[in-house]
Structure 1
């Protein structure tokens, strides 16, 4: 059995055999994986055996520190709960939608007397009608600009009762022709709901019905010599016809279909959902996927379907799949037997089209990734050449000292990997070996203590050390490094005046061009080390200033100071407190409370 802590061991004998979901947490209490099970006890114990060979699961088990579970009545309930919790918590080891910021929906608030259009990133069961999600926000904005003109509905948050006019003046949207102003009674509820119904027809893909209605109304308006209204309706017809023409792919089948395209290559995977409504493809949604390493395509597709359909209330008539996903029968039961695996005919052609779109998106994703990698790797390659380093300095550590005239001296060590900060590997130190200003000794202590950190965690071993300073700081740091277990790690220093680079091998500094990518890289790292050190120094100085005021009060020891600051949060709050409030702190008696109060309010002490 894999090594597990006592907290989990204590829970194992009491695990239920019911269906449900299990939640693995790390040592910080963070949820790192959520899964479902027909038998919770068996599934949870399966993680704790030595026979696990999957690298991803092995990595997960290494970080497991605690366990929670939720029992459900059926496996189907567990299925839905798992999908919802994954979307909410986004655990590190679950397959997820990449960049999932909760894609936006168009919402029509049907629960209100005068429904309004809005964009929502949450699906709430409030009687509203939701359309989407839209992975392309620009496309969504374009659609809304067209819709607010063809179907002018309110977008404001005004509360408009059904039978009472509450406002005297319409907003700017009325002047722009984007809203019929029900708030001031310029349109009846019946007429307003007529526009709402047309909006609903649009999203059902019933373009032809809408065109027929608009044409009939246009002709009636023209016969009645209402030429302005007739012209407006003509423009609506033209706009709708343009939208209709854009839906070039159509089928005679008037059912609503979701066509799922999927493509996977190395560690890139993407799912595409083509939304076909009344035989016309109205929207394409693209979902790059993450956390897919060492996972087969059947599991990835299954996880995507759970994430995608978990918040959906109205399923399409059919969901066309390119291949059979893992847990197909459970998925199909949950989705009301809507999953289809076409073998021939027009539906296969639709799947081919969806897959082609997914393939093209993967190619774009790979190209973007390659461009980004080139932007990152070029400065590192240039730095290797300029400094004549034995290998690419992918891992760089930069150290800096912060002090004011030798007081509260601290240091920082920031860690960069592939040109990016890796903040979990940052370290800061309170310098204890000196009691006056001595940057050389402070840097020596910093190097010694960081090397000790490497002894505890080899991931911290860099390919290059950068010291913020000149020859002196470099010399003492190089001496410490040379006497350690890591004498072969290259080291340089960077002097601020004209960004001179010193190396132990050369007495003359190296000066790089101001436009050099490698110089921009190391000065950026140096500036981050400076920022990190200064922030820590300010924090230390502020804390010392707070405590020093309390130290001046006779009879107030370290424990009392700690209790007071913990209770009130700051010295200012202590100053503002009454004797009774001070005495209410556990461990602070009436006499001590009076002494503290008198110290901060000397004018209240009587002459007697």
Structure 2
């Protein structure tokens, strides 16, 4: 634990200007990033009497071993640079607004000849219009089911659409009136596009105009004694009103705003966001994060907006953002949002009226979400802490292993040998740190040699990156930043392998543990604990020990090791199956003339596995970019000939598990 006085900058050396600062630990890892209007005033506050600091700030300044800063021109630049560095370095003491859910969107594929409405998740695609986000996928499906009666646009997958085209019959939705059946030519592309435009316009908030138009049409049909048409229009109006009832009217028509509310305690903060489009709540999302400093409400609001409206989600920025408290740099935040959106964005606190009432509703939701999270997490946090403490005691470790790496080997009769590395931090998976290895230097099915190569490669990389950190040629060009960066100068990505684990776990018994230990000793890595978990009796083996460590079956530490081992096994198997599918596709298509590596990869991307490729028709293969009828026919014939030779069963030699083709 460092004394902040040992690295306090000299008096007068900190500039009185806006900028961004970074605290680093003894290993040069960035542990905190912050910004300030005045670097001198902000950094001086960290070096006051330590007893007067917030407990988490105390922990940060005593963990740090150095501080550095970068001066920028204005507050907007500081805001952008701070967020960039937080994403780049992932500092442990910054509040991490990690959303643990993938929120669904209602998506309309306007880039297709016959646009389709569907539930979308993940990254947004060009040419697709999105509405939401929604809290649940079923809420989207309920809304779409009601609207398809009035706007019978296509909602089927490409496979169903093509099949209906081939057989000349629509799917069930076409028969019950919830699809205009463009697949069989009931409507032209132009007529279907009009339906889609009405659908999007209605979802965008132009609801009153459309319902009034339907009411006029209904009255006109009744006046002309077209009672069946009038009844159908009446039912359409009812369906639209039911859909509208699911989205409560909260603000005047045309209002385009996000309402952000917080609920916090000394340890955590809950965030809730209601998306209001066209005066109606179109979506809701939220998350809970650990509080790692003593930031006030305004600063937490600013961080939440940076998370919510980063570059990938710029198109979701509304005209107005309603918040419970303005950030300290409210003008800079509004300027940044306006630049992202391409037009003016207002950030303000609602004081009265409907908007204030809605803010109170969102605040109640944030409080309820935080209470629910704490109820669920209490036992989980306690359990994870107990598991790490049990491992520390059982394995005689100097401290609880906050970062654990686990390795597994997978192969098929000595071929396609791969290894996996999974990482758990604080007892939870950190999937961004997972790594895969393709073993090339080992012949046959030799798990021990494969483990030796995997551990050698991982810790050679660790030593190389640690050495690179001390190299003067990669030191930061910023004269105020004393020391090198934990970032690769070639790729700009963090040096993930430069971080030492608190415990290395290998899947296996004494042979695998001995191989891993020999690899680490050969590299001079003797300060990282190692153990192995054998499947048969769930024994924990330590290097050089004749007898295993037996953890009780009810031990949380044993359960954590089992989760690590199972996750490493799953990750290795998935990698192995992917490589085996590619190999089988390439082998089956060896005799097709003119079929090179690029087009083989295109086939694998399109169909995913050899099993699905074999079931594809000539027309489906010919639809793949780069293929024509002649090449597609040659592919089908080659696969038919290859099918006549039954393949050998695929068995994972480590576990004896039969790997199903195409899985």
Q: TM-score, normalised by structure 2?
A: 0.50
Q: Taking structure 1 as reference, are residues 363 and 78 closer, same or farther at Cα in structure 2, changes over 3 Å only?
A: same
Correspondence for 2:580: none
Correspondence for 1:545: none
Correspondence for 1:307: 307
Listed as ranges, the matches of 1:187-202 within 5 Å are 187-202=187-202
Correspondence for 2:181: 181
Correspondence for 1:425: 502
Correspondence for 1:325: 327
Q: Taking structure 1 as reference, are residues 338 and 50 closer, same or farther at Cα in structure 2, changes over 3 Å only?
A: closer
How far apart are the structure 1 equivalents of 2:538 and 2:182?
Answer: 73
Correspondence for 1:91: 90
Q: Taking structure 1 as reference, are residues 118 and 22 closer, same or farther at Cα in structure 2, changes over 3 Å only?
A: farther
Q: Taking structure 1 as reference, are residues 375 and 79 closer, same or farther at Cα in structure 2, changes over 3 Å only?
A: closer
Which string of whole-angstrom CA distances, capped at 9 and with x for unpartnered residues, describes residues 185-233 of structure 1? 4224553343233323322333332322333344555667776655554
Q: Could you tell me whether the CA contact under 8 Å between 1:394 and 1:419 is conserved in 2?
A: no
How far apart are the structure 2 equivalents of 1:145 and 1:302?
Answer: 38
Q: Establish whether residue 369 from structure 1 lines up as the match of residue 365 from structure 2.
A: no
How far apart are the structure 1 equivalents of 2:144 and 2:230?
Answer: 23
Listed as ranges, the matches of 1:229-240 within 5 Å are 230-240=230-240
How far apart are the structure 2 equivalents of 1:470 and 1:194?
Answer: 64
Q: Could you tell me whether the CA contact under 8 Å between 1:415 and 1:425 is conserved in 2?
A: no
Listed as ranges, the matches of 1:445-460 within 5 Å are 456=527
Unaligned regions of 5+ residues in structure 1, if any? 4-15, 160-165, 403-413, 432-437, 479-490, 495-500, 502-511, 537-608
Q: Establish whether residue 271 from structure 1 lines up as the match of residue 279 from structure 2.
A: no
Q: Could you tell me whether the CA contact under 8 Å between 2:132 and 2:282 is conserved in 1?
A: no
How far apart are the structure 2 equivalents of 1:530 and 1:188?
Answer: 53
Correspondence for 1:105: 105
Q: Could you tell me whether the CA contact under 8 Å between 1:135 and 1:287 is conserved in 2?
A: no
Q: Could you tell me whether the CA contact under 8 Å between 1:97 and 1:289 is conserved in 2?
A: yes
Q: Could you tell me whether the CA contact under 8 Å between 2:37 and 2:75 is conserved in 1?
A: yes
Q: Taking structure 1 as reference, are residues 293 and 25 closer, same or farther at Cα in structure 2, changes over 3 Å only?
A: closer
How far apart are the structure 2 equivalents of 1:377 and 1:33?
Answer: 24
Q: Establish whether residue 342 from structure 1 lines up as the match of residue 344 from structure 2.
A: no
State the 1:286 CA deviation: 2.1
Listed as ranges, the matches of 1:149-548 within 5 Å are 149-155=149-155, 169=168, 172=171, 174-175=174-175, 177-220=177-220, 230-248=230-248, 250-252=250-252, 254-290=254-290, 292-310=292-310, 311-313=313-315, 315-334=317-336, 335=338, 336=344, 338-373=346-381, 424-427=501-504, 456=527, 493-494=549-550, 517-518=554-555, 522=558, 525=561
State the 1:301 CA deviation: 1.0
State the 1:306 CA deviation: 2.0
How far apart are the structure 2 equivalents of 1:90 and 1:353?
Answer: 36
Q: Taking structure 1 as reference, are residues 104 and 528 closer, same or farther at Cα in structure 2, changes over 3 Å only?
A: closer
Listed as ranges, the matches of 1:36-51 within 5 Å are 51=47
Q: Could you tell me whether the CA contact under 8 Å between 1:468 and 1:493 is conserved in 2?
A: no
How far apart are the structure 1 equivalents of 2:549 and 2:214?
Answer: 75
How far apart are the structure 2 equivalents of 1:169 and 1:26?
Answer: 68
Which string of whole-angstrom CA distances, capped at 9 and with x for unpartnered residues, describes residues 520-556 of structure 1? 86477479779999x99xxxxxxxxxxxxxxxxxxxx
Q: Could you tell me whether the CA contact under 8 Å between 1:394 and 1:417 is conserved in 2?
A: no
How far apart are the structure 1 equivalents of 2:401 and 2:31?
Answer: 26
The structure whose RCO (Cα within 8 Å, separation 6+) is larger is 2
State the 1:353 CA deviation: 1.7
Q: Taking structure 1 as reference, are residues 267 and 455 closer, same or farther at Cα in structure 2, changes over 3 Å only?
A: farther
Q: Taking structure 1 as reference, are residues 346 and 56 closer, same or farther at Cα in structure 2, changes over 3 Å only?
A: farther
Q: Taking structure 1 as reference, are residues 83 and 186 closer, same or farther at Cα in structure 2, changes over 3 Å only?
A: farther
Moved more, 26-35 or 259-268: 26-35
State the number of aligned residues: 444
How far apart are the structure 2 equivalents of 1:21 and 1:169?
Answer: 64
Unaligned regions of 5+ residues in structure 2, if any? 4-14, 51-56, 160-164, 339-343, 410-421, 435-500, 573-663
Q: Taking structure 1 as reference, are residues 273 and 469 closer, same or farther at Cα in structure 2, changes over 3 Å only?
A: closer
How far apart are the structure 2 equivalents of 1:178 and 1:80?
Answer: 47
Q: Could you tell me whether the CA contact under 8 Å between 2:269 and 2:290 is conserved in 1?
A: yes
Which string of whole-angstrom CA distances, capped at 9 and with x for unpartnered residues, describes residues 327-360 of structure 1? 2121123343511223344433222221111101
Q: TM-score, normalised by structure 1?
A: 0.53
How far apart are the structure 1 equivalents of 2:335 and 2:197?
Answer: 33
Say which SS state the counterpart of residue 315 (structure 2) adopts: coil
How far apart are the structure 2 equivalents of 1:30 and 1:379?
Answer: 26
How far apart are the structure 2 equivalents of 1:18 and 1:253?
Answer: 44
Q: Could you tell me whether the CA contact under 8 Å between 1:256 and 1:277 is conserved in 2?
A: yes
State the 1:271 CA deviation: 1.8
Q: Could you tell me whether the CA contact under 8 Å between 2:134 and 2:282 is conserved in 1?
A: no
Say which SS state the counterpart of residue 312 (structure 1) adopts: helix
How far apart are the structure 1 equivalents of 2:235 and 2:84?
Answer: 43
RMSD value over aligned CA atoms?
A: 6.3
Q: Could you tell me whether the CA contact under 8 Å between 2:135 and 2:285 is conserved in 1?
A: yes
How far apart are the structure 2 equivalents of 1:155 and 1:27?
Answer: 57
